[in-house]
Chains A and B, each alone.
Chain A
Amino acid sequence: MATMEMEDIDNQIRDLRTRISHLQAHRANLTTALLSAPHLPTRLQQRPVSKPIHAKKALKAVQKQQARNVKNIYRACAGVTAYKVKDPDPNAVDGGNILGVRIEVEIDGHFVETYHVLLHRPNPKNKIGLKVHKHTIPTCIPLLQLAKTHLPQMTRDSSTMPEQNITKFAQKLRKELVSWHLRRTAIGQLRVEAGLPAPVSNKEEETKTAPAMGKVLNAFISDDEDESDEDEPRRRGRAGPNKIVDIEADESVREITVTWSNGRAGRMVVTKDGEVERGVVRTVDGTRVTEMERKAVGRIEGLVARLMGN
């Protein structure tokens, strides 16, 4: 009896909690909408109030909201925005002044990732010479190469200032980042088309159940290698079309590996803008399947359709 009541009360509390958080989210949305109303600051200033301190507070909130709105609009529309940062290090060069470049990557109507490059001016002789200080660009993006080309540094003995082009640098960097994300999305899409499960992300459950060790890469063994694990049905020798059992890509998605159920394996090279340049497909005994190789060339998005459409 008592436990029943306890449970009931617990449920009620839980319901109330979720209700509270819903209402709070709703209130936050309403606040945002209200604070973003046009001409609000002027109206606040014109209307006489009993306590001026409240009007001041309200004005502050409105200004903050509108600053955010402007910022977000720029970020969303421009894709690349700059901002100023102060380096907290007391020994930082140039008094800790830092120029930040923020790059947004949007795919399918979502802002999927944000990257930052922080630049400083280390050279007292070259007051406008920028140098990459910190950044959050993944290693598969050629940041160093871009920086060397577009943000050349003054060498010790040269007296002339090298020409720098920060706009070009940001443009090219953004292009690299966006095309990388697009390629990654395309691979995910290919896996869906081939009817494969989504690639395993760092899920906790996965690590617990499956052994941590993956595929052995230099195990060249038995003839029944392609029979794979016991849980996978035996497909060899079975009549019917070959199925694609795996599509993998390397981290920078410049190379795609496709495995078929009969042990046939293909490797395709992809350019940065998502064109499958060339590919090699081999059967399990090593002979090349030139017909498939020809089919593979083309846009990355249609790869599975081209390979499956025999």
Chain B
Amino acid sequence: MAPQAKLSVPTIGNLPHAHRLPVTHREVVRTFSKLSRQSLLSLAQQWLSRKTRDFCRPYLYADQDPDLGDDDAQFDPAHSYEELQEIYKELGLRKGGRKEVVDRMLEGDWRNGISMYQLATAEIQYLLDHPGALRWNAKRLAKIQHSKTRVKDMEVTNDSEHLPRFQAQTFMANLARELSPLMKGHYLIIRIKTMPLTLLRVYIHDSPYGTESSVATTDTHAPDGAKSVFFVWPDGSPFVYVSVATHMGQVVGEEARHLRDIVLHAIPKAFSRPSSRYELQNTNFTARTLQALLTFRGPGKSNAAAGGWSIFADNSFSQNALDFLTAPRPVETGNGASKEEPSSENKAGKGHPKRILVQGETPEVKRRKEIAEGRFGTSAKENDGQGIERFEVRIDDPFPAIFNNGVRQEDAALAQPSKRGRKGRPSLLDRSLEEIAESQRDDTWAPDVRVTFQGSHVFAGIRQLVEQGVIDGEKMPGWMTGEAAVTVGAVKHGRIRTKGSVPGV
């Protein structure tokens, strides 16, 4: 694998891993100032390991220019990689501030510059340390339908393949071919050990030159925008997560956004092969944490079983077929008095979440809790790490002639309706021409009503409101439980419209 790629580098002109940025470069300063001491030390160890030494050459004693007196240098250069590794190991063993480590790195061991590889791994480290640092948009790689291949695509045979195949090397070569005439970039594809995904970081360098000096110059008049885009491929699924154009919390200028779009458009092309072309489709899902993305657009069982249906995905509903015990589990119930209750609760959860057995005088609170349990299942728990920060719907129902119950209930549901600035960028929720034509044909008037829920974990919040009796849990429409598994959608007749969408995404 290695030799071919080595040869192909000059022809397609990517920025190599070893290109260095000066330590005063904006990106370097920004990234290093955010990392914790622990992360910095672990990064240093990785950089000094034998595999990656070539990209992360530190300033060693041998590099010293004998003509120049180095008396004023704050840090003495080390003599070997091993010595440096020892130094960083020692730093890791004792306590101290992170400033000490940053100074040692930027002014001492890597005073000659931070390589592209180092910057990339540092940013990825920050991302892994702070999973909520970026907003992600989930897209789907879908095959472009072609009348000739349609029948064949739907066939399921012994060796048919329905997912796009991801080969890092081929993909990189294709992507670079697409992009190098337009811009230069530095690419790093990396497997993440703690989560089942592959991450690609693209450092966008808006210049026709790929030389080290052109990378190093900081454009003074250019807007201080994000230079990197992240793409994530979860294993064994057709989805791609694209980082929304903010740089760890900073907004990106128009120019940078264009470049980012170019990269985005090149992704499906790099996946395509002759006679199987791919495109990126929107899946109406945006979230901050990768954990939430993996739950709703991941490879596992939970994609199409959100909200109350989550009981089917985890095994709270389906007990093992060889589990014959109907008596309560010994671990769950301590005393014999509650023997009847848990079993009846279990029964209520099985397929009849709405019908909760209320025995005698159950307090109202308990009833509401049970309703919430039935509607939300095991999902929408606080601190489950699967929070969605923003949930937007457009109500597409025609304006009712008489006020009925439904309207009142929706009013109650608006926990924090936010006013949308109508002059902003076009929203995904804006009606398409097709939809406008449809509503005109029906000869009804549907006002443009939009509801936005915002918070750290929207559905956990709604669940709490149900438990406290603010929302009537039984009359609440299903989309408010998050079972549609989208963050943007249009509601008609109380259901999120699923026109043309794939079952369960």
Q: Which of these, A139, A213, A217, A230, contacts B236 with CB under 8 Å?
A: A139
Take A72-B324, A91-B494, A218-B169 as given contacts and tell me if A28 and B329 are in contact as well, using a CB distance cutoff of 8 Å.
Answer: yes
Q: A139-B299, A218-B188, A250-B236 are in contact. Are A213 and B124 (CB under 8 A)?
A: yes
Q: Are A140 and B299 in contact (CB under 8 A)?
A: yes
Partner of A138, one of B2, B17, B236, B320: B236
Q: Which residues of B lie under 8 Å from residue A85 when comparing CB positions? A: 351-352
State in angstroms the CA–CA spacing of A74 and B418 once bound together: 52
A146 to B503 alpha-carbon distance, docked (Å): 12
Q: Are B46 and A211 in contact, CB atoms less than 8 angstroms apart?
A: yes
Tell yes or no: B312 within 8 A of A by CB.
Answer: yes
The residues in B between 285 and 335 inclusive whose CB is less than 8 angstroms from any CB of A are: 298-305, 308-309, 312-313, 315, 318, 320-331
* B327 interface neighbour in A28, A92, A145, A215, Cβ under 8 Å: A28
Contact residues in A for B117 (Cβ distance below 8 Å): 219
Taking a contact as CB atoms under 8 Å apart, the answer to whether B304 and A135 are in contact is yes
The reply to whether B235 and A251 contact each other, CB–CB distance below 8 Å, is yes
Fill in one digit per residue for A223-253: 1 if any B CB lies within 8 Å of its CB, else 0.
0110111100000000000000000001110
Whether B321 pairs with A75 at a CB distance below 8 angstroms is yes
Interface membership of B432, Cβ < 8 A: no
B159/A271 in contact, CB under 8 A? yes
Contact of A91 among B325, B354, B493 (CB under 8 A): B493
| A224 / chain B contacts, CB cutoff of 8 Å | 50
Quick check: A230 and B299 within 8 Å, CB to CB? no
Say whether A189 faces chain B, with CB atoms less than 8 Å apart.
no
Indicate if the CB atoms of B503 and A139 lie closer than 8 Å.
no
A60 CB to nearest B CB, Å: 10
- Number of interface residues, chain B, beta carbon within 8 A: 98
Partner of B477, one of A64, A90, A284: A90
Contact B190 A25 (CB under 8 A): no
Within 8 A of B (CB), among A32-53: 32, 35-36
* Interface bits B46-83 vs A (CB < 8 Å: 1, else 0): 10011111110000000000000000000000000000
Chain A residue contacts of B165, Cβ below 8 A: 255
Cβ-defined contact, B196 with A134, below 8 A: no
**Across the interface, do A147 and B503 meet the contact criterion of CB distance under 8 Å?**
yes
Given contacts A146-B156, A217-B168, contact A212 B193 (CB under 8 A): yes
CB pair B503 A143 closer than 8 Å: yes
Q: Which of B3-11, B207-215, B217-225, B261-269 contacts A (4 or more CB under 8 A)?
A: B3-11
Contact of A21 with B192 in the complex, beta carbons under 8 Å: no
Give the residues from 335 to 390 in chain B that come closer than 8 angstroms, CB to CB, to chain A. Answer: 343, 351-355, 374-375
- Per the bound structure, the CA–CA distance linking A28 and B121 in Å amounts to 54
Task: Specify which chain B residues have a CB less than 8 angstroms from the CB of A211 in the assembled complex.
Answer: 42, 45-46, 193
Question: For residue B235, which residues in chain A have a CB less than 8 angstroms away from its CB?
Answer: 250-251
Q: Please list 13 pairs of residues, one from A and one from B, whose beta carbons are closer than 8 Å in the complex, sorted by A's number.
A: A24-B330, A28-B327, A68-B326, A86-B355, A89-B483, A91-B494, A134-B309, A139-B300, A145-B155, A216-B189, A219-B52, A225-B51, A271-B158
| Chain A interface residues toward B at CB < 8 A | 20-25, 27-29, 31-32, 35-36, 61, 64-65, 68-69, 72, 75-76, 83-93, 100, 102, 104, 111, 114-116, 118, 131-140, 142-149, 172, 176, 200, 202, 206-207, 210-222, 224-225, 227-230, 250-252, 254-255, 265, 269, 271-273, 277, 282, 284-286
